[in-house]
Amino acid sequence: MTLNLGVSYPWVLLLLPLVALPWLQMPLDSRDHSCVAALPADSLSRALQIGLAVAGSAAILATLLGIADLHRVEHSIPRVGTGAHLVLLLDRSKSMDNTFAGRRADGDEESKAEAARRLLSEFMQKREHDLFGVAAFSTTPLYVLPLTDRRQATQAAIDTLATPGLAYTNVGDGLSLALSYYRDLPMTGSRAIVLVSDGAATIDFRTQEKLRQYFPELGVRLYWVFLRTSGDRGPFDEPENEQEDTPEAMPERHLHKFFQTLGVPYSAYEAENPQALEQAILQIARLENEPLVIQEKVPRVNLAHLCYALALGALLLLLSAKLMEVRAWQA
């Protein structure tokens, strides 16, 4: 096991030769004696002398390490836990600014985007071992944030849902972008894209082929949280007649059908209000708990005060020796 020690001010260590000082000079006062050679060489004095030198060296060494700010550096140790690599794919189209009832959001009722922002934030905060990435799409796909363990950054990305949406819904390119987050990433733990949208669109044939290839190849699952506006159609709606059953007329239903052909585990959740959205997110949380080798962060630990405590102990030894010192031969 490595200790992962580090110092913040290495130049202080240039003073380390000072630890030799106690071996050159006793801190006690000398007494004149007519003939030192006449004094018997007793082992107790010898031991005391060495002991005091060791204590002095230890005090200087420990104080120097303290000044250099000795610490255990922040590091991570691999640990098997449960978690996932999740990419949140957010719909930034204009309609997300409306409420579930399809009205403009006002004080009483939150918009779909606001509900998604609130619940995704809670979801993220609860899942401490997951890595989160964020991608968004409107007319074009928007790379937002790579898969990261920096919660603050992920929160900042989710918070953009509080700002007005952009234009249209281009799901296909959004999915391609979200998939690209998993390239060059070691295969570990479960991988899933959580698509949060309030609408669907047709995906062109070329993109469909690409998605059918990459989803299984990269082993990414798909969750589709559909924020249904009342009166609108959803992925589970059945056509009333055959003529209506086209991707253009019922894009949600056809997108859902396409997702089922991806060859990876896929589930869709229809949320018609914030509570249903919460349920959908809870269900995803339950599913995405595969064993995963996670890098558990061991935070930095300051050791300076321990060094000082050690130095203090050594000094107290010296001090007691000092206080026991013979004042004068005559006494």
**Binding interface with other proteins (CB under 8 A):** 9, 18, 21-22, 24-25, 27, 29-30, 56, 59-60, 63-64, 66-67, 69, 92, 136, 138-146, 148, 150, 152-153, 155-157, 159-160, 162-164, 166-167, 302, 304-305, 308-309, 311-312, 315-316, 318-319, 322-323, 325
Minimum distance of other proteins from residue 302's CB (angstroms): 7
Minimum distance of other proteins from residue 88's CB (angstroms): 13
Minimum distance of other proteins from residue 319's CB (angstroms): 5
Q: Nearest CA to 300 among 6, 74, 76?
A: 74
C-beta of 128 vs 325, nearer to other proteins: 325
C-beta of 18 vs 50, nearer to other proteins: 18
C-beta of 67 vs 287, nearer to other proteins: 67
Minimum distance of other proteins from residue 161's CB (angstroms): 9
Say whether 257 sits in a helix, a strand or coil: helix
C-beta of 9 vs 236, nearer to other proteins: 9
Minimum distance of other proteins from residue 243's CB (angstroms): 33
C-beta of 93 vs 276, nearer to other proteins: 93
Length of the chain: 331
Token pair belonging to 2: 């490595």
Residues 133 and 195: beta-carbon distance below 8 Å: no
Say whether 78 sits in a helix, a strand or coil: strand
Give the DSSP letter of residue 148. E
C-beta of 84 vs 144, nearer to other proteins: 144
State the burial class of residue 296 (Cβ atoms within 10 Å of its Cβ: 0-12, 13-18, 19+). Answer: middle
Minimum distance of other proteins from residue 308's CB (angstroms): 5
**Looking at the chain, which runs of residues are DSSP E strands?**
5-7, 70-72, 75-82, 84-91, 131-137, 141-148, 190-197, 220-227, 266-271, 291-298, 301-302
C-beta of 98 vs 235, nearer to other proteins: 98
Minimum distance of other proteins from residue 299's CB (angstroms): 12
d(CA 270, CA 286): 17
Helices (H), 107-186: 112-126, 151-158, 171-180
C-beta of 239 vs 313, nearer to other proteins: 313
Between the two ends of the chain, the Cα-to-Cα distance in Å is: 56
Contacts of 47 (CB under 8 A, 6+ apart): none
Cα 20–Cα 23–Cα 25 angle in degrees, nearest 5: 110
Minimum distance of other proteins from residue 6's CB (angstroms): 15
d(CA 266, CA 247): 19
